[in-house]
A = this chain, B = another copy of it.
Amino acid sequence: MSDKIVKYTLNERDIPRYWYNVQADLPEPLPPPLHPMTGQPLTPPDLAPLFPMELIMQEVSTERWIEIPEEIIDVYRLWRPTTLFRARRLEKVLDTPAKIFYKYEGVSPPGSHKPNTSVAQAYYNKKEGITRIATETGAGQWGSALSFAGACFGLEIKVYMVRVSYDQKPYRRIMMEAWGANCVPSPSPDTNVGRRVLADDPDCPGSLGLAISEAVEDAMTRDDTHYSLGSVLNHVLLHNTINGLEAKVLMEEADAYPDIIIGCAGGGSNAAGLFLPFLKDKLDGTKPDLRVINVEPYSCPTLTKGPYAYDYGDSAKLAPIVKMYTLGHGYMPPPIHAGGLRYHGMAPLTCHLLKLGLVEAKAVHQLETFQAGITFARTEGILSAPETMHAIRAVIDEALACKESGEAKTILFNHSGHGHVDMHAYDAYLSGKLQDYEYPDALIKEALADLPKVG
């Protein structure tokens, strides 16, 4: 049967024991991050109030392989290694000669790839004697993943959740509380930044940049507390490479190598987690033709429309200044359902690779992503998160291009999470209430006018 489900699995003992650090293999190093106050290159001690030293060292390390502590592997075991599927039914309905593979990360307890790093971050903080972590979350994938990790290691977790999501999407907030975390809407009265914003506008809907500011302030003002970020940073991408390393072994088992790797990109970590271990082969010249596509929403077109510039990671200018494609730290994208893709910036590593021409980027509209998500649900059986649908859209487009050209390309994508908590978004689409947004030209121009004058 041509539509037989084919999957490739690893044994538990084959969980990778090292993360892959692409900084060992870059043709030129990353531009340095800068101190938000001084504009001078950051030193590890500058970051000590926010992160445990092991994560700070991973952030700047050029060691190629970084050993995964046994305590982290112990928790990864709950859902790792994850499965590689060949999407035969999708191929059939598209009538494409392309071979489509996907790695499925939706089986983790919070339902996404995010615990690959939340578990690691919780562990290193615990090891350094930290008892409490503050973080921000948009739609709630990251907040719930860190809350899960906090429960695993007995840490107190405080989550500042963008208020519009807190009000409209309570399910993720409740998940955090079920794992024992404290989740408040941002802006909150719990920080100076939050209080200032609330004084100006008690009904402020919040933004990811603002929630980051609150979490960073929280961490900087309490000795027992560190800060944690769920994407963007080098160590976050590093932790997610466990997925790409598994995928590489499994693709070998499938006797295949990808011509194209695709992932959705908000902060960049799920896509990079899959593609970095393969990109190693492009960097060393073994696979010069490998294509990598980061897929972002047209409403938040960081990689496709933003300039490559130094910018703040947050709206209150408390987080480090990094070189990245950016839409401006004050940018507030339209309310698309893929809340995890609404960040103004992008992982400096992904941006650096794009600038060097080693990876690509593509922007897609909301409606076409849901169309792709429904096609996937009705062929492959899995209900995808709205973020993941961005990757699926690009996969289908590439597979249809193969149908045109007659090329039997091998496409691999990261299925970053299930959509069981996003059913309201499906409802809006299926009932015809979902919309696309105009390109937010004026908003982006305004936000870009406020880039820092550094670097």
Contact = CB atoms under 8 A, between A and B. Distances in A.
A423 B426 contact: no
Contacts of A171: 420, 423-424
Interface string A160-181: 0000000000110011011110
A107 B107 contact: yes
For chain A, the bracket of interface size reads: 35 or more
Contacts of A111: 420
A78 B12 CA distance: 18
B109 A382 contact: yes
A175 B418 CA distance: 12
Interface stretch (A1-9, A269-277, A341-349, A403-411): A1-9
Among A111, A179, A382, A383, max chain B CB count under 10 A is at A383
Interface in A82-121: 85, 107, 109, 111
A423 B421 contact: yes
A2 to B, nearest CB: 11
Nearest to A6: B77
A182 to B, nearest CB: 12
B423 A180 contact: no
Contacts of A175: 383, 420, 423, 426
A420 B421 CA distance: 6
Interface stretch (A187-195, A282-290, A330-338, A373-381): A373-381
A111 to B, nearest CB: 6
A26 interface: no
A63 interface: no
B421 A381 contact: no
Interface string A1-37: 1001111010110000000000000000000000000
A4 B71 CA distance: 8
A397 interface: no
Contact of A377 (B4, B151, B170): B151
Given A78-B381, A151-B379, A175-B426, 10 more contacts: A9-B11, A111-B420, A148-B381, A171-B424, A175-B420, A175-B423, A179-B378, A179-B383, A420-B420, A420-B421
15 contacts: A4-B74, A7-B77, A78-B380, A109-B382, A111-B420, A151-B379, A152-B381, A171-B420, A174-B423, A175-B423, A177-B426, A177-B427, A177-B430, A178-B423, A418-B420
